[in-house]
Amino acid sequence: MTNYARMYRLGFTPWERYGAAGGAQLGALLDREARERPAGPGRAIDLGCGRGQFTPELARRGWRAVGLDLVPEAVEAARRKGPAEIDYVVGDVTDLESAGLGTFDLFLDIGCFQGLDADQQAAQARGVTALAAPGATVLMLAFGPTRLRRFIEGVSREEIEAAFTGWDLVSADPADPSGLGWPMNRTSPQWYRLRRPAD
Ligand SMILES: C[S@@+](CC[C@H](N)C(=O)[O-])C[C@H]1O[C@@H](n2cnc3c(N)ncnc32)[C@H](O)[C@@H]1O
């Protein structure tokens, strides 16, 4: 059983305290994304969606949304929450190609990539690249690396760039840490935006 599976089972999910602040920021980022896409919102996938804290925000803003997580209980809870048009699947972000999910215009990652080791990060990025439509975007919220990284996770800008070869890192903006609580609120969380060049 993974640590996350244990935490969901115990009901110890501190990252879910980030819903209000994270949701507001995500809403603004999705609005910008929609403005910059002449064709409007397309297909989006929430990688490591957990219990669907943020996936519904994608659907609310017109994206055809898929949520994917390794922990079946979390996926089941997300499904129960709905809305029904979101397709929630159990799957591994390090093996996206075998999930048969089709291609996506937007990849959302809130707190998943930062918890993977370097090989797993490279595998996630490879899968994202394989499933990316031309001009696709990755929106990633991640803690910075700190001395407590082993316990609370975190990733540097350089590690993200090393994994996402062939992508342009177009921005890295400080995220509002309200609601995260100590020590996560000391990790300088950032919203990263990466763009896959259109063919
Ligand atoms: C910090 S939680 C964030 C959950 C959700 N994004 C949120 O903000 O509520 C990280 C999530 O990533 C999931 N996860 C970790 N490794 C994964 C993997 N290899 N494949 C899919 N999901 C994974 C965990 O099960 C957990 O739900």
Q: Tell me the per-residue pLDDT of 120-178, one tens digit each, with 9 for 90 and over.
A: 999 999 999 999 999 999 999 999 988 888 888 899 999 999 999 999 999 999 998 88
- Which residues in 27-97 belong to E strands, given as ranges? 43-47, 64-69, 87-90
Task: Return the pLDDT at 183.
Answer: 85
| Residue closest by Cα to atom 20 of ligand 1 | 92
Q: What's the CATH superfamily of 14-195? A: Vaccinia Virus protein VP39 (3.40.50.150)
| 199 close to 167: Cβ distance less than 8 angstroms | no
- State the closest ligand 1 atom to the C-alpha of 2, by its place in the atom list counted from 1: 25
Other C-beta atoms lying within 10 Å of the C-beta of residue 198: 8
How far apart CA 181 and CA 17 sit, in angstroms, is 8
pLDDT digits (tens, 9 = 90+) for 35-80: 999 889 999 999 999 999 999 999 999 999 999 999 999 999 999 9
How far apart CA 37 and CA 39 sit, in angstroms, is 5
| 13 close to 51: Cβ distance less than 8 angstroms | yes
End-to-end Cα separation, the chain, in angstroms: 41
Question: What residues does ligand 1 touch, defined as CB less than 6 Å away?
Answer: 4, 15-16, 48-50, 53-54, 69-71, 74, 92-94, 110-112, 115
| Residue closest by Cα to atom 15 of ligand 1 | 112
pLDDT digits (tens, 9 = 90+) for 116-131: 999 999 999 999 999 9
Task: Return the pLDDT at 31.
Answer: 92
| 176 close to 135: Cβ distance less than 8 angstroms | no
| Residue closest by Cα to atom 17 of ligand 1 | 70
Burial of 65 (0-12, 13-18, 19+ CB in 10 A): buried
Beta strands 132-142 and 190-195 are: antiparallel
Q: Does the reported pTM lie above 0.75?
A: yes
Report the separation in Å between the CA atom of 134 and the middle of ligand 1, taken as the mean of its atom positions.
26
How far apart CA 189 and CA 172 sit, in angstroms, is 10
Does the structure show a pLDDT above 80 at 1?
A: no
Report the separation in Å between the CA atom of 34 and the middle of ligand 1, taken as the mean of its atom positions.
25
Report the separation in Å between the CA atom of 67 and the middle of ligand 1, taken as the mean of its atom positions.
10
Report the separation in Å between the CA atom of 37 and the middle of ligand 1, taken as the mean of its atom positions.
28
Q: For residue 109, what are the β-bridge partners?
A: 47, 140
